[in-house]
Structure 1
Amino acid sequence: MTSSVPTSLPKIKYLKRPTSPAWIEQAIANLDTILLDHSHCERKAAGVALNLMFRYPSSAKLVRMLTAIAQEELEHFELVNQWLERRGIAMRSLPAPPYGAELNRHVRRDEPERMLDLLLVSGLIEARSHERLGLLSQHCPEPELAKFYHGLMASEARHYGIYWVLATTYFDVDIVTRRLEELATIESDILSTLHPEPRIHS
């Protein structure tokens, strides 16, 4: 199949490489699966925020800001589930791509480095989500669904900004910047090979 997707894609802050046109084609050809995976992603994102709050309960700014993220992710979870219901897609589990597990494998285990890495990995995932929801909004052939994706983009951008703010609240900005460079390279490398099954992070 000849690609109609442009090879020049917008650059998203913090991401080393843009998503490949092959992912866009794969996603558009499997919109129902992408929606189902999107539901799981929103639920997991809420869980990530809650887990960080439980892990660092004495970090008041973190708890306050991540409470808002967790609430918003759960709202998005419900909105995506409404789309699943409208399209007659039954909720079910999906095999996870290696993306999240591979990123978390590079999280250092000792504190305070662990806290920094968890914040930065979370921010990178949100940045990639922002990029990919934007691509879906641009290329989705269904106008109403494209509009839905576009409406979620701003939230994802705000979320990765919050994780950056939290990282620079608790760590020196130079340390944060250096570690972000390392993790961002790893993140892009993980996505350099298209996963055979369509996923938001494949």
Structure 2
Amino acid sequence: MAWQESTKNKMLRLELPTDPRWVDIASISLEAILVDHAYCEQKAASSCISLIIKFPEFDEMVDVLTPVVAEEWQHFESVMQQIRKRGFKFGFPRKDNYVAQLQSFVRKGGSRKDQVSELLLMNALIEARSCERFKLLSKNLEDKELSVFYHELMISEAGHYVNFIQLAKKYQDPEKVENRWQEWLNHEKNVMKDLEIRGDRMH
């Protein structure tokens, strides 16, 4: 099964969709959204590098994530191009309350496989939410160039999501991963319920 078809079956399991008001707010704060998005791509690359450094013994993970690092950094460069061509300024990073609340849910301790599985699932969830928001932007932004841009990124993020889930199931019992994944989804739903709707944040 191609990963695109696999994604259709596995993706969009998010328990709570993004409030539709976010797109309207985001389109008004386009500069802030692009700057925040650039930092998200930078952090995505850093997260993959961190996994490779912390867990070098997991050969397949290293091999799968190495090209993802390059791809995420390419995304950062692409977002920066969108910022520059519009005459926007690249500002300082903002605190990402969404990711901070996901990080607080990571289980500590356990075996090396337990630890890497937890982090892979957290990264999968971030990619899933990013994919959903890129889809919303691609369908609703009046800026046609950015609409196409976000459609392409949506496809890429979906592929990363599948990578993370499949790797987690390689290093842990798939049923155990599935159960824990549902716990992650439930936690993320509660995070989204309490998160302020802001047009200057990608998450």
Q: Same fold (TM over 0.5)?
A: yes
Q: Residue 41 of structure 1 aligns to which amino acid in structure 2?
A: C
* Cα RMSD (Å): 1.4
Name the structure 1 match of 2:147: 146
Cα shift readout 1:56-90 (whole Å, capped 9, x = no counterpart): 00100000001011110000000000011111122
Cα distance, 1:14 vs structure 2: 3.2
CA distance in 1, matches of 2:93, 2:194: 19
Instruction: After TM superposition, list the pairs within 5 Å mapping 1:30-179 onto structure 2.
Output: 30-112=29-111, 113-179=114-180
Gaps of 5+ in 2: 1-9
Name the structure 1 match of 2:201: 199
Name the structure 1 match of 2:181: 180
8 Å Cα contact 1:97/1:195 also seen in 2: no
CA distance in 2, matches of 1:46, 1:14: 24
Which of the two has greater helix per residue?
A: 2
8 Å Cα contact 2:48/2:68 also seen in 1: yes
Q: Residue 69 of structure 1 aligns to which amino acid in structure 2?
A: V
Cα distance, 1:12 vs structure 2: 4.2
Change (3 A) 1:71 1:163: same
TM-score, normalising length: structure 2: 0.90
Cα distance, 1:96 vs structure 2: 1.7
Q: Residue 78 of structure 1 aligns to which amino acid in structure 2?
A: E
Q: Which has the higher contact order (CA 8 A, sep 6+)?
A: 2
Q: Residue 18 of structure 2 aligns to which amino acid in structure 1?
A: T
**Aligned pair count?**
191
SS in 1 for 2:194: coil
